[in-house]
Amino acid sequence: MVNRKSNAAVKVKTTMLDQAASLLDDLPEKPEATVSLRQAIELLQDDLRSSLDKGYGYEELAGVLAEQGIEISPSTLKRYLALSQKESGRPRRRRTRRTKPEDEE
């Protein structure tokens, strides 16, 4: 067993504090090793929306994600994309309605 003074008795020079504060302030942002499934979809939302615009469906996109180890159901994917769109304040993507050509009416 080591005999130590109490922490209250340990003295730290103020120059050491300034140096430590400066070093801590200069540390770069540490990337997260893992993110939640919802965060993952949020990070991929632009690419996912682009794929939807190309005509791919949620089921197909869920399959592509599953191939990369990101297991998500199509319905959860759709919900998470809607939530991230709502939170980011982006306008909803409107579907164009197909109209019959005038000669078919």
CA–CA separation, 65 and 72 (whole Å): 8
- pTM beyond 0.75: no
Q: Give the angle 81-84-89 at the CA atoms, nearest 5°.
A: 125
Chain segment 14-25, per-residue pLDDT in tens:
999 999 999 999
Chain segment 34-52, per-residue pLDDT in tens:
999 999 999 999 999 999 9
Q: Give percent of the chain above pLDDT 70.
A: 79
DSSP state of 98: P
pLDDT for position 50: 96
Between helix 74-88 and helix 58-67 the angle, nearest 10°, is: 100
Chain segment 52-105, per-residue pLDDT in tens:
999 999 999 999 999 999 999 999 999 999 998 887 765 555 555 556 555 555
